[in-house]
Each structure stands twice: as C-alpha cells, then as structure tokens.
Amino acid sequence: MDTKLVNSLYKKAVGYTVTEKTTEYSPEGEVIKRKVTSKHYPPDIVALKAYLELISSGEDYEKLSDEELESEKERLLKELEGMKSGSDQTERESEV
C-alpha cells in the first residue's frame, strides 16, 4: 500500500489544520502585505472508516453503526493524543 496515500487518509480521518501564507508585492518588488491564515479541517468519519478498513487486522468496520464508529474514533483520537504527548515529552527531554 502506498504510504503517502495511507498517511493522507489518516490525516483526513483525524482532522488537521493548514496554515496559508500570502504575500503581496508592490510593482518595485517590495513586500506590501503579509497575511497568515489557519484553516481547520475537522475529522471525517468516512475517511476514518476507510482508514480503519485499510489497517484493520480482520475486524469488520463495515458492520459498525455510526455511534460505534464515533466511539472508535474518539478512542483512537485519545490514543493518538497520548502518543503525541509522549513524543512531545521525549522531544523536550532530548533538548535538555
């Protein structure tokens, strides 16, 4: 399976934020204005379902109800937050 595809599907499944930077220039090439905006894309239950089907070890997520999928999504998000905070802690420790 293409890793880039799986990572993109995962990103859409759990939600993500994009930062866009726009710079306007004068005719002389000088910067007139810089604008930085952030846009948040919320988690997508359909992408989560597809992702779980790709990585599942024989579990049949097709048969889960929307409530069960939502519950599984919340469980996975909490697990990922734990992994993220653990890696943040490791990064802080390595900086010391």
**Residue 19 main-chain phi, psi, to 5 deg:** -105, 125
Contact call for residues 14 and 48 (beta carbons, < 8 A) = yes
Helix spans in 37-65 (H): 45-55
- The tally of domains found in the chain comes to 1
Domain carrying residue 42: 3-95
Residue 24 makes CB contacts below 8 A (sequence gap 6+) with 31, 32, 33, 34, 35
- Per residue of the chain (96 residues), give pLDDT as tens: 578 888 899 999 999 999 999 999 999 999 999 999 999 999 999 998 888 888 776 566 677 788 888 888 888 888 888 877 765 554 455 544
Q: Is the pTM of this model over 0.85?
A: no
User: CA-CA distance, 7 to 3, in Å (whole number)?
Assistant: 6
